Amino acid sequence: MDQEFWDRLYNESERRWSGRPNGALRVEVEDMTPGKALDLGCGEGGDAIWLASKGWKVTAVDISPVALARAAEAAGPDSGIDWQQADPRVSPPPSRSFDLVSAQYFPVLHEEDHATIRGLLDAVAPGGTLLVVSHLIEGTPPEGWSGPDPREFYQPPEIAELLGDDWVIESHGNRARVDTPHDNPHHADIVLRARRVR
Ligand SMILES: C[S@@+](CC[C@H](N)C(=O)[O-])C[C@H]1O[C@@H](n2cnc3c(N)ncnc32)[C@H](O)[C@@H]1O
């Protein structure tokens, strides 16, 4: 699942995702005071654009230039969003810099040293929030799923285990997906929201 994989996926259609912000993001972030946000794996920009409309100063990162070009076009020139092509496995985001780090369906393959996940946790500023939303995986992938096996990727419970004493878990559990796109086989999320206290 490198840049080529994602570019190819995006190039299969004019638009891959709905363009709307993810439901779990809206639910969790709606009432937060805006600050600096990092949207990891921003795709076609639905979440980043919504965050910017709520007053967040957004850095939106994706490995795919195809996705980023669509996102920037959808946002328009005045969004203030900083679109960045980057791979946090290779270049971790800046340390303790964001009031919100959001990873919505962002795939990170398991690593022995958890270096990528630790880099993402480190990007959250003291007082800031980590929000990770993944598809709830129960047993084998759902019928119709043709992508890689999701069990090879970090799920929120594994990330929760990596949070040390500097963190408070504010929300963690399975829930029905809000506003599932009609053609998507995933109908349940697993959500982790945690705040860095120091
Ligand atoms: C399943 S999509 C989710 C997109 C968006 N967050 C959403 O919910 O619509 C995963 C996104 O992460 C990006 N991505 C995957 N691996 C990445 C990596 N190592 N570094 C940066 N972006 C990556 C992909 O290009 C893709 O846009």
> For 114-169, how does the pLDDT look when each residue is reduced to its tens digit (9 = 90+)?
999 999 999 999 999 999 999 887 777 767 777 778 789 999 999 999 999 999 99
Q: Assign 176 a pLDDT band (cuts: 50, 70, 90).
A: confident
pTM, 2 dp: 0.94
**CATH number reported for the structural domain that contains residue 32 in this entry:** 3.40.50.150
Q: Calculate the dihedral angle through the C-alpha atoms of 19, 20, 24, 28, rounding to the nearest 10 degrees.
A: 120
Query: Counting atoms of ligand 1 from 1, which one is nearest the CA of 3?
Result: 25
Select from 139, 38, 148, 52 the least CA-distant residue to 93: 38
Any bridge partners for residue 197, and if so which?
none
Number of domains the chain is built from: 1
Residue 190's domain comprises 3-196
**Residue located nearest, by CA, to atom 24 of ligand 1:** 41
Ligand 1 center–CA 135 separation, angstroms: 13
Indicate the top mutation candidate among 62, 66, 134 to test ligand 1's pocket, ranked by most ligand atoms within 8 A of CB: 62
Mean of the per-residue pLDDT values of the chain: 93
How far apart (Å, rounded) are the C-alpha atoms in residues 185 and 135? 10
Whether the Cβ atoms of residue 98 and residue 59 lie closer than 8 Å to each other: yes
What is the CA angle 121-194-101, rounded to 5?
50
**pLDDT of res. 181:** 66
Side by side, the strands of the sheet bearing 82-85 are: 82-85, 57-62, 36-40, 98-104, 124-135, 188-196, 167-176
Nearest CA to ligand 1 atom 4: 43
pLDDT of residue 183 exceeding 70: no
Residues 139, 197: Cα–Cα separation, whole Å: 35
Q: Which protein residue has the closest C-alpha to ligand 1 atom 14?
A: 41
